[in-house]
Amino acid sequence: MNLNKKTVAVAISGGVDSSVAAALLKEDGFQVIGFTMHLWDFDAVGGNVFNESSCCSLNSIYDARDVCQRLDIPHYVIDVREDFEKYVISNFISEYLNGRTPNPCVLCNSMMKWKVLLEKANQLGAYYLATGHYAKIIFDSITKRYLLTTGKDDSKDQSYALWALTQNQLRHTKFPVGKYTKKEVRSFADDLNLKTKHKPESQEICFIPDNNYSRFLKQRFPDSIKQGEIVDTEGNILGNHYGYPNYTIGQRKKLGIAVGKPLYVIQIDPSRNRIVVGDKTDLETKGLYAKHVNWIAIDKLTNPMEVLTKIRYNDDGKPAQIIPVSEKEVKVIFKTTHQAVTPGQSVVFYRDNIVVGGGLINRALIDKPAL
């Protein structure tokens, strides 16, 4: 396939970051093509049908088209609803029903943007796919590897959600806004008078526009959301929950029980339809096991390595040692205990702001067996 290195397809979501990414690339002399994914419909996901400002909504598609017209670049809407349902929504549901807490943005990045969109970009002769993520890519001439690093704006850094990208995908990727702060990006959009210049950031998961996971899961699988027991670490029944998929590790609110002290969700047991609660100290974990590991800075892990480990998006990171278990599985030992290690979430390994790799948290490393 004959690809032009001066042609780039930009995933324009209808937000300010991707809009500015397209503008910056055109300013740099690239031939820019705008792509917007049609991921889902309101009649399929339910919820707040009036929240048309959410990411990937119809209004966002219209905003993306307006930006492309303003920048005088072609705009294509790519219908990926079937793939999105298959790869992202189905995984989201199955993870919650298995007592885990997924991060659908990670899967959407690897399976949708850097699979479906990159293939579409190549079909149109574009060598690169660009997005509005706050991250950077550099090429290491010594290791001959493309490295993913944190963006300039620490408060907006999105490298955590990009750990699953492969070397080939990084080779064909550009992150134009990664070297700027959010304030600078807003200023660029204002100077260009883009429609998205003051558009607020979307906080909810795009296909749950009302941010009501319980409603969404109950709508899809009504028989799976039912009451069960809430027990303490000794197995004593303290009350009832209203469906285990409505809870996550570390949750304190909405437990509906009172014992004179704060209690936290420390375990979700789908097989027995129950929630185990305990003290805050019961959330402390000395490590975890991660699966589906993808390496970016290295080819593979053959010996233990000291890294900074993040187990959630806003995590400051903790020093840890990662130990190979198999090709796609590692054991993580924290230097100090970490709280609320949540199966289904991502664990990402850093060294000097470079993403070494990442994976999915399979289970916490605990001393006492589960009830």
Q: How far apart are CA 258 and CA 120, in angstroms?
A: 55
Least-confidence region, from 145-154, 191-200, 227-236, 284-293: 191-200
Same domain as 259, residue 298? no
Residue range 255-267: mean pLDDT, rounded:
91
The DSSP-derived string for 45-103 is H-S-TT-TTSTTSHHHHHHHHHHHHHHT--EEEEE-HHHHIIIIIHHHHHHHHTT----
Domain count, the chain: 3
Average of per-residue pLDDT values in the chain: 91
206 lies in some domain: no
Same domain as 293, residue 267? no
Residues with a catalytic annotation lie at 108, 206
pLDDT of 77 reads 94
Exposure b/e, 285-299, CB count within 10 A at least 16 = b: bbbbbbeebbbbbee
Residue range 255-272: mean pLDDT, rounded:
92
Question: Comparing 339 with 305, which gets the higher pLDDT?
Answer: 305
259 lies in some domain: yes
The CATH number linked to 181 is 3.40.50.620
pLDDT at 53 over 50: no
pLDDT of 283 reads 94
CA dihedral 25, 28, 29, 33 (to 10 degrees): 0
pLDDT at 49 over 60: no
Residue 218's pLDDT band, with cuts at 50, 70 and 90, is: confident
Same domain as 159, residue 247? no
Same domain as 174, residue 72? yes
Same domain as 100, residue 10? yes
The CATH number linked to 240 is 2.30.30.280
Domain boundary among 136, 169, 191: 191
Same domain as 274, residue 318? no
Same domain as 55, residue 9? yes
Pairing of strands 75-79, 31-38: parallel
Q: How far apart are CA 17 and CA 269, in angstroms?
A: 40
Q: How far apart are CA 75 and CA 132, in angstroms?
A: 16
289 lies in some domain: yes
The CATH number linked to 292 is 2.40.30.10
User: pTM of the predicted model, to two decimals?
Assistant: 0.92
Which residues lie across from 264 on neighbouring strands? 278
Same domain as 297, residue 268? no
pLDDT at 43 over 80: no
CB distance 146 to 171 below 8 Å? yes
Domain boundary among 191, 214, 245: 191
Residue 144's pLDDT band, with cuts at 50, 70 and 90, is: very high
Please name the helix (run of DSSP H) or strand (run of DSSP E) that holds residue 169, with its range, or none. Answer: helix 167-171
Same domain as 17, residue 165? yes
Same domain as 43, residue 165? yes
pLDDT at 52 over 60: no
Same domain as 178, residue 106? yes
Residue 223's pLDDT band, with cuts at 50, 70 and 90, is: confident
Question: Comparing 216 with 286, which gets the higher pLDDT?
Answer: 286
Same domain as 296, residue 273? no
Write out the residue range of the structural domain in which residue 232 sits.
226-278
